[in-house]
Amino acid sequence: MKRNMILKIVTDFCMTAALIVLMSYELVGQAAHEWLGIGMFILVILHHIWNGKWLSNSFKRKYTIFSILQTFLVICVLLSMAGSMVSGVILSRHALAFLPITGGRSFARNLHMLSAYWGFVLFSLHLGFHWCMVTGIVKKHLEKAPAIPVWILRGIAFLTAVYGAYASWKRGIWEYMFLKNQFVFFDFEEPLAFFIADYIAVLALFVWCGHYLSKWAKTRKKKISLQ
């Protein structure tokens, strides 16, 4: 495997892990949340450095339904990340407390919630659009494996996605995405591992949706010129 590809995979794995832990907010502590957010910002920059070639060709290629959806997701993820970073700076009480920022905390809190939950869903869908890379690696190693283990893995992925749908309802993710509930509830008596497991399942749900949406989009071969 090429060095650049290894760097991409490691960076993306760290981004995914950081995003899940960031969603736990109060359960890991405000200071840890803020420093982890700064780490996430650095990882986002690295991610775009490793994918600079794709970005530089964004307005040169002939677009298909797949590439339009992919680019739309990238833009939406960037906007949600920018919203999280800007609102995070305003709300910071630890890592960036030295900054002379006053006021705007109420707006920043709502922006942070919207950006965090929409960003989580959009990031997961975006990851799903690239999941074929992961399945390609798995297929390469299981090329001579019997069909049964492959179908077992698919079944596990489907059941995880189904549980993710339940977990998204249980955790009120849709309510936070549309500000129907403006204050995130955390059960401090719940083990952090249970919270993380639920959010991994929710992430798996949207990765699963993104993966099959991308497979559908790839069957639409018609190219569209945006020039």
More confident residue, 149 or 219: 219
- 148-171 average pLDDT score: 89
Residues 6+ apart with CB under 8 A from 22: 33, 36, 37, 40, 116
Decide if pLDDT at 151 tops 90. Answer: no
Q: Compute and round to an integer the Cα radius of gyration of the chain.
A: 19
CB-CB neighbours of 43 under 10 Å: 20
- 86-98 average pLDDT score: 93
Q: What pLDDT does residue 59 have?
A: 64
Q: What pLDDT does residue 31 have?
A: 95
- Helices 30-50, 3-22: axis angle to 10 degrees equals 150
Q: Which one, of 9, 1, 85, 83, lies nearest residue 47 by Cα?
A: 9
Cα dihedral angle (104, 110, 115, 117), rounded to 10 degrees? 160
Cα–Cα dist 17/93, whole Å: 23
pTM of the model: 0.88
Amino acid at 104: G
Minimum mean pLDDT among 33-37, 76-80, 107-111, 153-157: which range? 153-157
Q: Which one, of 205, 15, 76, lies nearest residue 68 by Cα?
A: 76
Average pLDDT score, the chain: 88
Q: Which one, of 153, 103, 85, 117, lies nearest residue 20 by Cα?
A: 117
Which residue's entry shows tokens 């803020």? 34
Cα–Cα dist 71/225, whole Å: 14
pLDDT digits (tens, 9 = 90+) for 70-90: 999 999 999 999 999 999 999
Cα–Cα dist 20/159, whole Å: 20
Minimum mean pLDDT among 26-40, 86-100, 113-127, 128-142: which range? 128-142
Q: What pLDDT does residue 147 have?
A: 63
